[in-house]
Structure 1
Amino acid sequence: MTFPRRPGHARDARRAGRRIHGPLVRNVLLAAAALPAAAAAWIGVTGWLAHTELLAAQQDLNALRAAVAASAGPHPTSAAAAGAPAESDQERWLRSAADHAAHAHHLTTGPAWYTAAQLPFLGGPLETVRGIAQASDRLTGDVLPPLVRAVPQLSAGAHAGGVPHVLTVLESEAPAFTRAARVAAEVRDDAQRLPRSTWLSAADRGRAQLSQQLDSLVPKTRDAAVAARVVPSMLGARGPRRYFLAFQNTAEARGTGGLPGAFAVLRADRGHLSFERFGNDNEMDGVRTHVNLGAEFADQYGNNEPGGVWQNSNMSPHFPYAGRLWAAAWRTHTGERLDGAIAIDPSSLGLLLRATGPARMPDGSAITADNAVDLTERASYARYEVAQRKAFFVDAARAAAGRLMNATDDPRLFPALLRAVHDVQREGRLQLWSAHPAEERLLVSRTFGGALPDTPGPFAGLVVNNAAGSKLDYYLDRSLVWAPGACTDTDRSVTATVTLTNRAPVSGLPHYVTQRVDAPPYRTRPGDNRLLVSYYASEGATLTRATLNGHRVELIPGEERGHPVYTLDLELPRQSSRTLVLHLREPQADRAPTILRQALVTPLRATVKPAGPCRV
């Protein structure tokens, strides 16, 4: 049945609809207007909670660092020493830090945080906070666990099974270390993409602190990953290995550190180390070998006969070149093949002897952490004639090496020795080359491989080679100031200021220390030194001009592993300084340079100035 419509029915219906929908629309509009305020409140509350969680995670990580240091000492925790399954202090602190970081990450996810972080200008700090929380979650959840887990295992292994057990632990943990290093690098890349400057200074400080921590952590995780992959095989886990071990005398500078003086042949068999023989540079004089290191190497060093003059075999700062030359020379000399080469110096011995205790010489005297450098690079020159001194160097090397070998078999000293080895390689005083290509490919990627980096990017290197035949580099001070100037969209100006100071006393030094085997055609005094000073610039750089003490000077151009090299033959009188200033144009880059630090007696003082303005 159809009812007839009453007049005005449609109008009444529309009025009723307005009565129904009016409040609904108003409520929706009010709710929409309240959403930003609610979202802001939500972000404020969860942001504060996330901040609290991150602070708690940082406190746990500080406690973790202290616990790791304690467990790596001579008296590990009882659980680690006994191999007990109970949770260690390190694992407990890491688990707590991971829980706090995961909660902070959870608090900063979701639609409100994601949307707000995309807002122009206002969203910058929120994006930074989200990034910091996510980075903390990944670091505590994926990067640190395998590293922390390995500490008590290595400590317990050192006490239970010595070096062989340590090698077993390293081999088993190598895949986890490799993954941790990869994740750490990914986290750093993500952190570098976070806003550098926002309207909230606290967020900017948090990002800067995170970047600083990652810049320190990433190389360490890569070092651990590479060490876990190469150390077991290099120490004879799969069969005996033999190495040429050179003790570099940094009183006479060479590219890799110092003159190759005393040496030994080191044998490694399933982690047990022993020395087959010792010798000095006299034994290698006159040994000639030919190793093709490329036209670039020949152009740079060929005139100095690195394959025929033993004292010039390591003029290049690229240690693999020296390793190959030393192994080839040893084979020419003895017919024996070696598996690689290792270089250390008296400063290295000092750091290692601080962990092991003093080494006793045949005459009853001691080489200690405090006197190793002075005894071998200054006092011995005043005490002995040439032949006696060379014999003394061999005796010192044998005594120190014997003390170190005993320490590797002493579970009380082994953890401290591991820390000392880390300190030595961090200073660039331990350099390794492997004759096995797969191992060498990994070694050259880390500082202990002693490689001159050949990757693009800002770079600054100061390398000196003693050209006088003296032992005056014991008294050499070096400083390098790298100052980027104005830039365009393609390049920028760079000023590199090198200052060298010869602190040699005017009297009292033995003739052998001050001798001038270069026989210069000009008059010199005892204590005057002569150096080949080489500056290694960034790939693609060009030198526009150079001055020495304010006067224009011409430098000898060259190239090594992609780096332009500019060399000055410098006479450096005693008690004097010389300042070399290089003005360069380099490819534009927004990061600080990699600094090549040649390890001599006195460390290089390097300063990197802030970047100048760019014109784009």
Structure 2
Amino acid sequence: MRRLRRHRLALGLMGLALLLGAWGALGVAEVMSARRQAAAAEAAARDAANLVGSGDLEGARVRLGNALDSLVAAQRSLSSPWVAPARLVPYVGSEVRAAEAGVVAVRNTSQATLDLLSFVLADRAPIYAEGRLEPEGLAGLRTTLAGALGVVADARGALNAAPRPRLGFVAERFAEADRVTASLYDTLSGALPLVDRLSAAARGEDPYRLLLVLENGAERRATGGLPGWYTVLHIDETGVSLDAFGSVVGALQARDAAGKHIAVEAPVDYIRRYGEFMANTTLWANVNLSPDFPTVAEVARRLYAVGTGVEVDAAARVDLVGLGYLLDAFPTLTVGDVPLEGAALATDFLIDSYRQFPDDTRPGEQNAFLGEAVQEVFSQLVGGAAADRAAVFSALRRATAERRMALVTGEAAVDSMLAAAGADGGVLPGGHGDLMVTTQNFGRNKIDLFTTTAFEVGLAADDCRVEGGLTLVLMNATPAGMEFMPRGNLVNYGRWMVTVYPPRGASVMGLEVNGQPVGGAFLEEFGRTAVSVIVDADLGESVSVTVRWAETLTQPGYTLTLQPQPLVVPATLAVNGETPVRFVETVRREFPGFCRG
């Protein structure tokens, strides 16, 4: 009898073990299902982002809906009763709760983004029509933004309340969810005050003025090209109009009683690096020697106020290549009744204008011709020219990603939004692996319509010490027959100031020009060393600049991040012997094996 009871107990325990094993297996299956659904959602969201970038908003909405379906399924799996007991197990429970919080956060973020896309695609009151901003459309946008912000705030709350995960793939997904929700939260938080400000202008309560500077990449500057023309967009209840338009040279070059250009306040780094070139004066030609557009915008707004007596609310820049992207989204635009091809604006159109109005025989006429052409185009744009909406989104994304267009308002929340979207033209923070190079035309000619630029970066690690080297090759590729181009004193001789910004805290090990060590200038800018040297290249020749540095890492892994300079002829980049690729957007390369110990 006692033996029978023992057998029954053993059978009972075995049955319980089998039941628990089956329960655990089902729980594991649900967790793995959630992981697969999360991966599917990630792929769908990535597709949606690419579709938005290409202008296919309807396709993006469909893929974002697919992502939401996958995330709902993932959340359902993690909420399954088969998973519930795992929540009570130390360590395992915290990982499950963190995974669920991550899924909820990404689901909310996807829903907020879908709501915004649906608003854009909906048949609703227009935001802009017949040359004016419409208060009713702006009110609808504000309601949508506020709703999306509330959804994302809930996502942030879910993440903040969750335990910090330690399991590899859970921690990675959690960190990505935290990054995405924080970025969207900042974007929406900044969009609301901007919409409020524009709404006030559209109602006639407080006009809004935007200073826009057009850059000519034929003569390089750090943000893109020489400041060529400017306009002020004025927004009030009557519509959007051009308050002013003209050539920066002459129109804005105010002088004091002694006949000197007027200086304005600027950050200490800016004065230290560019003060000798009169960058912060009404000379204007060198205001954008700094690659950081928020800094340039601050100085430009002050210069405009000094020169005209008018305070502007915001400052923006666009180079002719980026403007061309945007103009091609408006197929009805013309110049002198001739259809305008935006893709040729920064090259063929510009070169033809130089050929038609050579500086040495008809000074100032080419500038006036281009100014009139651009003014004619802008008048059509603000007047409500027919646009391909998908093409507009694609052009804006492309111009922003290539740093050809930037906007700064001076209002903290709005500028944080623009920075999160990469639309403020700011520079990299300068952490481990952050690398940047600028090349600036010091020859006062227009040879950068043809200059080619090639970068090679090499990296090697010895435990946690990283040694890096960057070589830049500039080639003066100006073709024959360009004698009519503006040439300055150097004619077609190339002269550039090259500045390399190694990562913050890195030790600069050497500077070479054409393989020979040189002194150069070592100054501080943006809290990091700026290695600068002026180099020359005759027609058909090239010049190389090499900078070597070393860094000490404090944690495993290394990310090389390179920020491009917008150029007329796109640069190429090769990393550690790779085949060179076009270098027009920020590039990131992961080196997980560095500092593994």
TM class, shorter-chain normalised?
0.7 to 0.9
- Counterpart residue type for residue 38 of structure 1: A
Aligned 8 A contact 1:249 1:345 in 2: yes
What do residues 277-326 of structure 1 show as CA deviations (whole Å, max 9, x unaligned)? 21102323354333322332221111111123311111001112322222
Does the 8 A contact of 2:187 with 2:420 survive in 1?
no
8 Å Cα contact 2:438/2:499 also seen in 1? yes
* Residues 210 and 312, structure 2, Cα contact 8 Å, conserved in 1: yes
Provide the secondary structure at the position in 2 that maps to 1:293: coil
1:132–1:191 CA contact under 8 A, matched in 2: no
Partner residue in 2 for 1:546: 511
| Displacement after TM superposition at 1:352 (Å) | 1.0
Q: Deviations over 1:80-106 (max 9, x none)?
A: xxxxxxxx9689656634432322333
Q: 1:510 to 1:69 in 2, by over 3 A?
A: closer
Cα 1:63–1:551 shift into 2, 3 Å? closer
Quickly say closer, same or farther: Cα 1:146–1:610, change in 2 above 3 A.
closer
Counterpart in 2 of 1:27? 11
> Of 58, 71, 76, which aligns to 1:103?
76
Equivalents in 1 of 2:462, 2:370: separation in Å? 51
Residues in 2 aligned to 1:613 and 1:92: alpha-carbon distance in whole angstroms: 39
Residue 371 of structure 1: SS of its match in structure 2? Answer: helix
Matched, 1:323 2:297: yes
Of Structure 1 and Structure 2, the greater helix share is in 1
Which one has a bigger Cα radius of gyration?
A: 1
Give the alignment partner of residue 139 of structure 2, picking from 145, 161, 168.
168
Q: Deviations over 1:386-439 (max 9, x none)?
A: 32210122022112212322347x5x6456434433332222222112244554
Q: Tell me the C-alpha RMSD between the 2 structures.
A: 4.2
Could you tell me which amino acid in structure 2 is paired with residue 498 of structure 1?
T
Question: For the Cα contact (< 8 Å) 1:143–1:183, is it kept in 2?
Answer: no
Instruction: Tell me how far 1:261 sits from its aligned partner.
Output: 0.5
Secondary structure at 2:322's aligned position in 1? helix
1:349–1:400 contact (8 Å) kept in structure 2: no
Taking the aligned partners of 1:47 and 1:90, their CA distance within structure 2 comes to 24
Corresponding residue pairs, total: 559
Q: CA deviation at 1:444?
A: 4.8
* Map of 2:241 onto structure 1: 274
Contact 1:547 1:582 in 2 (8 A): yes
Give 1:24-173 correspondences, 5 Å limit: 25-27=9-11, 29-31=13-15, 34=18, 37-38=21-22, 41-43=25-27, 45-47=29-31, 49-50=33-34, 53-54=37-38, 93=66, 96-107=69-80, 109-112=83-86, 118=92, 135-140=102-107, 142-156=108-122, 160=126, 162=128, 163-164=133-134, 165-173=136-144
- For residues 350 and 514 of structure 2, the distance between their equivalents in structure 1, rounded to whole angstroms, comes to 30
Which 10-residue stretch deviates more, 529-538 or 592-601? 592-601
**TM superposition shift of 1:383:** 2.6
Query: Structure 1-normalised TM-score?
Result: 0.77
Deviations 1:319-358 (A, max 9, x none): 1232222222222222222222111111122111221115
Aligned counterpart, 1:391: 368
User: How far did residue 463 of structure 1 move?
Assistant: 1.1
Q: CA deviation at 1:39?
A: 5.2
Output the CA distance in 2 between the equivalents of 1:382 and 1:181.
55
The aligned amino acid for 1:382 is R
Residue 221 and residue 541 in structure 1: after superposition, are their counterparts in 2 closer, same or farther (change >3 A)?
Answer: same
Distance in 2, Cα, partners of 1:150 & 1:615: 42
CA distance in 2 between counterparts of 1:220 and 1:605 reads 32
Q: Which residue of 1 aligns with 2:258?
A: none
Name the aligned partner's letter for residue 466 of structure 2: S
Distance 1:231 1:316, change over 3 A: farther
C-alpha distance in structure 2 between counterparts of 1:539 and 1:188, whole Å: 31
The offset of 1:566, in angstroms, is 0.7
Q: Aligned to 1:540, what secondary structure does the other structure show?
A: coil
Q: Provide TM-score, normalisation by structure 2.
A: 0.79
Is 1:380 the counterpart of 2:380 in the alignment?
no
Where does residue 199 of structure 1 map in the other structure? none
CA distance in 2, matches of 1:557, 1:414: 47
What secondary structure does 1:543 align onto?
strand
* Residue 580 to residue 159, structure 1, CA distance change in 2 (3 Å): same
Given the superposition, is the C-alpha separation of residues 359 and 68 from structure 1 closer, same or farther in structure 2, using an over 3 Å criterion? closer
**2:329 aligned counterpart, secondary structure:** helix
Deviations 1:237-286 (A, max 9, x none): 56211122111011111122111001112112269421122110232335
Please say if residues 350 and 373 of structure 1, whose CA atoms lie closer than 8 Å, have aligned partners that are also in contact: yes
How far residue 33 of structure 1 moved from its aligned partner, in angstroms, is: 5.4
Residue matched to 2:223: 256
The residue identity in structure 2 corresponding to 1:369 is G
| Residue-by-residue CA offset, 1:88-141 (whole Å, 9 max, x unaligned) | 96896566344323223335843348859859xxxxxx97x997776444322x
Distance 1:332 1:260 in 2: 17
Q: CA deviation at 1:211?
A: 8.3
Amino acid at match of 1:341: A
In structure 2, stretches of 5+ residues that fail to align are 256-260, 576-587
- Match status 1:423 vs 2:398: yes
1:101 and 1:137 in contact (8 A); partners too: no
Q: For residues 598 and 427 of structure 1, what CA distance do their matches in structure 2 show?
A: 8
- Partner of residue 251 from structure 2, selected from 283, 289, 305: 283
